[in-house]
Structure 1
Amino acid sequence: MFSVGRDYTRDEIYSKVGGSKQSYLPTKNGSVVAACLTHGLNPQAPRVILCGRGSRIEPAGELLAQQPDAIPVFLKRDVNRWEYQGNFKATASYTAGLEFDGYVSGSGRPHSEVSRVVVMSDV
């Protein structure tokens, strides 16, 4: 479907997986279908996703943490240029505690802006 290291536009990603063209965790039919991340907000991506806060973001983070299926993960390289990193699945999720603090510390993001940490592994 996607080739590792190749760049895609959000329109191309949407045409293959669906979901939202704006959300960084687009969902379709109750599942997260991709992750479109920036290093500024997710410095350890694609291995660690720091979910923000908000009425759409928090449920998407929870869905990702619970779903068994792998998703394609992309990192933003430039305006509408998203590099495919591979397929990853959630292996751990934290909303508080030492693990949560460890992943958020040093990320440049205040703890109050992060609702969940999702640890991903490639498949």
Structure 2
Amino acid sequence: MFELNKVYSRDDIHAAVGGNKASFLPAYRGKIVAACLRAELNPRAPEYIVCNSGAAARAAGYTLSRQMEPVPVFIRQEPDRYRFAGHFAVQESYTTPADCIPFIQGTGFTTQQISRVIRMCPQR
């Protein structure tokens, strides 16, 4: 479906997996179908996904943290250009500020602005 390190637009990603084109964790039929991450907000991506405390990000992070199926992960290179980093599955999820602190450095977020950090594991 996606080629490793190839660049895709949000329209390309949406056509392949569905979900909201604007969401960083688009969902379709109750499941997260991709992760479309900005490096400046997720400097440790694709291994760690930082979810802010906004309602939509909090809900999407919760949904992904409970999901067993791997998702394709994309890292934004420039506006509407996302590099496919591979398929990743949730390994762990952190919600307490003490657990999240090591993973939010360089994101620009404070601990109060984070709802969850999700540790992802590459799938072959």
- Give the TM-score band, short-chain normalised: over 0.9
Shift of 1:108: 3.2
Q: Write out per-residue CA displacement over residues 11-59 of structure 1, whole angstroms, 9 at most, x where no aligned residue.
A: 0000000000000000011110000001110010000000012221111
Q: Is 1:71 matched with 2:75?
A: no
Equivalence map 1:1-123=2 (5 Å): 1-123=1-123
Q: Structure 2: how far apart are the matches of 1:24 and 1:63?
A: 13
Which of structure 1's runs of 4+ aligned residues deviate more than 4 A? none
The alpha-carbon distance between structure 1 residues 106 and 38, as it changes in their structure 2 partners (threshold 3 A), is: closer
Per-residue Cα deviation, 1:56-88 (whole angstroms, up to 9, x for no partner) = 111110010110000000000011110000000
Whichever residue aligns with residue 65 of structure 1, its letter is S
Structure 1: runs of 5+ lacking an equivalent: none
Task: Report the TM-score when normalising by structure 1.
Answer: 0.95
Shift of 1:112: 1.3
Q: Distance in 1 between matches of 2:10 and 2:117?
A: 24
Aligned residues: 123
Three-state SS of the structure 2 residue aligned to 1:14 is helix
Aligned alpha-carbon RMSD (Å) = 1.1
